[in-house]
């Protein structure tokens, strides 16, 4: 009997979401958590299991920039430690995980190990191949989505990045097609579950956020949809310093329409419009809502007069440049907190850009408006005394709607 026969099919490897090697369902790779280099070598050999990996390639990958008179001896010592760590974790002493060849090492393909990345890729290849009936394709998409339990390894090394990007792209494609078919079948609850799982893995994926918001709206869960939109908007500003797409912003505007229904009782309408709880400070809203409020107020000024100012608060570093993202995110949070504490309930504030807030200040003069901006700056400094940023503010009076039209005609 072939010595290897008793081990075939008993080894499984997980590389999506977390890394582990198991024999007969028992994890034997726990000891590798203590050494990034040991873990990296076995991961590299697994990723390149289809070929012998030369000693020189392994040495240059895991000892970059180092010189050694005997790199082969260093690798031999490392592989000995690797085998010992797996045995210490519970692997059989005689289980041959690796093959030692002339000038190279290779993962032992004779083990016929079950690797999650291979199973996932096989499912994706079947999907690319076509020729599947709709229901069969739907089930395969569900299977592929469930197989992707997280990103490939931890992407801490350059050599991990290409396969990580490839696998993640395939996963997002699977999720997109799956949600499309489920939407045709009006399976909104399943779409919500699929998207929430996808966003646990990649919370910034706009397509999954869009599908989730759309499904929540279709289920009548518009408050959840609006909360999700608010969350992804903040994440885009804080993590990437950009706005969400026009498509997602347009979807947000449609959510309010879904909320409306025929209501014969005016008191019922009023109840829906009223704030659920009395909130102090300024009214914080999404920029699209701010635009509508601004235009309504400009119309009111044209008819009834009065005073109102538009203010713009901008966060920069000492060189008038946008701060690095880590600093900017915290500064914008503190600036919003300071603004809400310093403004009145009739004032309105929205985020205009990654580093700016825009404000509407009714019934103030230019002088009192400047005092408001200074009050916000002082409050910000109390909340974030060591902030390496500068808060600048500009103030302009609102132009009544009629003046805007006249000026545009003259131009």
- At 136, give phi and psi (nearest 5°): -65, -40
- At 48, give phi and psi (nearest 5°): -110, 35
Q: Are residues 46 and 138 in the same domain?
A: no
pLDDT digits (tens, 9 = 90+) for 377-410: 999 999 999 999 999 999 999 887 655 544 443 4
Question: Looking at the domain assignment, is residue 183 inside a domain?
Answer: yes
Q: Can you state the angle between helices 188-201 and 161-184, rounded to 10 degrees?
A: 170
Nearest CA-CA partner of 404 in 295, 311, 305, 308: 295
Q: How many domains is the chain partitioned into structurally?
A: 3
Q: Are residues 161 and 52 in the same domain?
A: no
Question: Looking at the domain assignment, is residue 126 inside a domain?
Answer: no
Determine how β-strand 356-362 pairs with β-strand 348-353. antiparallel
* Average pLDDT over every residue of 87-94: 94
Q: Are residues 245 and 287 in the same domain?
A: no
More confident residue, 11 or 233: 11
Q: Which of 112, 146, 161 is the last residue of a domain?
A: 112
CB atoms within 10 A of CB 309: 21
CA distances from 22 to 12, 114, 150, 185, 298 (A): 5, 10, 18, 39, 68
Enclosing domain of residue 327:
283-410
Question: Looking at the domain assignment, is residue 275 inside a domain?
Answer: no
The CA distance from 56 to 75, in Å, is 10
Q: Are residues 48 and 168 in the same domain?
A: no
Assign 54 a pLDDT band (cuts: 50, 70, 90): very high
The CA distance from 174 to 205, in Å, is 13
Per-residue confidence (pLDDT) for residue 278, from 0 to 100: 57
Question: Looking at the domain assignment, is residue 57 inside a domain?
Answer: yes
User: What's the pTM?
Assistant: 0.71
More confident residue, 92 or 68: 92
Q: Are residues 322 and 373 in the same domain?
A: yes
Question: Looking at the domain assignment, is residue 278 inside a domain?
Answer: no
Q: Is 103 exposed, middle or buried (0-12, 13-18, 19+ CB in 10 A)?
A: exposed
Question: Looking at the domain assignment, is residue 300 inside a domain?
Answer: yes
Sheet of 390-397, strands arranged across: 283-285, 348-353, 356-362, 308-316, 390-397
Tokens, residue 63:
């000892």
Q: Are residues 296 and 339 in the same domain?
A: yes
Q: What is the CB-side half-sphere exposure of residue 88 using CA atoms within 13 A?
A: 11
- With 80 as the cut, is the pLDDT of residue 257 above it? no
* Average pLDDT over every residue of 150-154: 93
Per-residue confidence (pLDDT) for residue 20, from 0 to 100: 96
Nearest CA-CA partner of 364 in 397, 401, 399: 397
Question: Looking at the domain assignment, is residue 276 inside a domain?
Answer: no
**Residues 230/216, Cβ–Cβ less than 8 Å:** no
Q: Which of 46, 78, 112 is the last residue of a domain?
A: 112
**Residues 403/302, Cβ–Cβ less than 8 Å:** yes
Per-residue confidence (pLDDT) for residue 262, from 0 to 100: 46
Q: What's the CA dihedral at 32, 35, 36, 39 to 10 degrees? A: -30
pLDDT digits (tens, 9 = 90+) for 343-382: 998 999 999 988 999 999 997 889 999 999 999 999 999 9
CATH (domain of 241): 1.25.40.10
Q: Which of 243, 259, 275 is the last residue of a domain?
A: 259
Question: Looking at the domain assignment, is residue 157 inside a domain?
Answer: yes
Q: Are residues 406 and 294 in the same domain?
A: yes
Q: Are residues 388 and 292 in the same domain?
A: yes
The CA distance from 196 to 175, in Å, is 11
* Average pLDDT over every residue of 80-93: 95
Q: Are residues 254 and 135 in the same domain?
A: yes
CATH (domain of 394): 3.30.70.270
Q: Are residues 103 and 140 in the same domain?
A: no
Q: Are residues 404 and 294 in the same domain?
A: yes
The CA distance from 224 to 70, in Å, is 62
- With 90 as the cut, is the pLDDT of residue 155 above it? no
Tokens, residue 141:
């998409």
Q: Are residues 135 and 183 in the same domain?
A: yes
């Amino acid at each position: 009997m072939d010595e290897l026969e008793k081990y075939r099919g008993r080894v499984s490897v997980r590389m999506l979401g977390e890394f582990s090697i198991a024999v007969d369902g028992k994890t034997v790779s726990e000891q590798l958590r203590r050494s990034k280099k040991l873990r990296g070598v076995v991961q590299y050999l697994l990723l390149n299991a289809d070929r012998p990996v030369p000693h020189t390639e392994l040495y240059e990958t895991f000892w970059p920039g180092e010189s050694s008179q005997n790199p082969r001896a260093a690798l031999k010592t490392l592989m000995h430690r690797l085998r010992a760590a797996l045995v210490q974790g519970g692997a059989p002493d005689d289980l041959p995980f690796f093959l030692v060849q002339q000038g190279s090492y290779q993962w032992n393909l004779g083990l016929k190990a079950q690797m999650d990345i291979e199973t996932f890729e096989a499912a994706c290849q079947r999907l690319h191949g076509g020729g599947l009936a709709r229901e069969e394709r739907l089930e395969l998409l569900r299977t592929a989505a469930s197989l992707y339990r997280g990103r490939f390894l931890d992407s801490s090394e350059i050599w991990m990045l290409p396969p990580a990007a490839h696998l993640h792209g395939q996963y997002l494609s699977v999720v997109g097609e799956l949600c499309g078919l489920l939407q045709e079948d009006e399976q909104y609850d399943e779409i919500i579950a699929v998207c929430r799982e996808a966003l646990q893995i990649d919370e910034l994926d706009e397509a999954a956020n869009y599908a989730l918001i759309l499904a929540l709206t279709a289920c009548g869960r518009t408050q959840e949809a609006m909360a999700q939109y608010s969350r992804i908007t903040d994440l885009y500003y804080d993590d990437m310093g950009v706005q969400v797409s026009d498509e997602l912003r347009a979807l947000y505007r449609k959510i309010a329409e879904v909320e409306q229904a025929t209501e014969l009782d005016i008191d019922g309408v009023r109840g829906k419009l009223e704030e659920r709880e009395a909130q102090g400070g300024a009214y914080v809203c999404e920029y699209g809502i701010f635009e509508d409020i601004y235009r309504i107020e400009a119309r009111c000024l044209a008819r009834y007069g009065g005073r109102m100012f538009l203010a713009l608060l901008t966060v920069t570093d000492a060189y008038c440049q946008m701060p690095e993202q880590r600093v900017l995110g915290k500064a914008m949070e503190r600036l919003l907190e300071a603004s809400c504490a310093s403004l009145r309930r009739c004032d309105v504030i929205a985020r205009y850009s990654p580093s700016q807030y825009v404000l509407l200040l009714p019934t103030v003069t230019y002088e009192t408006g400047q005092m408001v901006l200074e009050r916000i700056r002082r409050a910000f400094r109390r909340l974030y005394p060591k902030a390496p940023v500068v808060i600048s503010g500009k103030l302009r009076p609102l132009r009544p709607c009629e003046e805007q039209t006249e000026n545009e005609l003259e131009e």
